[in-house]
Amino acid sequence: MSLDQIKREVASLSREDQDKLIAYAIQLRYASDADFRHEVTERLNDKDKSHWLTPEEFERRLDS
């Protein structure tokens, strides 16, 4: 299957399926990146609440 065929197939997917495909592609990209996995693990294990954003703060920063 060519890249153009894949692009056409992706374009025909529902938004929900496209979102799932994007998440899968990102997972594939970083699956073998040890540095990225380490950074994510460190962030998830950070128990200092001052380093975390509330969902509202996250949305505010995302929108700006």
pTM over 0.85: no
Burial profile 24-54: b = 16 or more Cβ within 10 angstroms, e = fewer: eeeeeeeeeeeeeeeeeeeeeeeeeeeeeee
pLDDT for 60: 94
Give the mean pLDDT per block of 10 residues along the chain (64 residues): 96 98 94 91 92 93 89
pLDDT at 55: 94
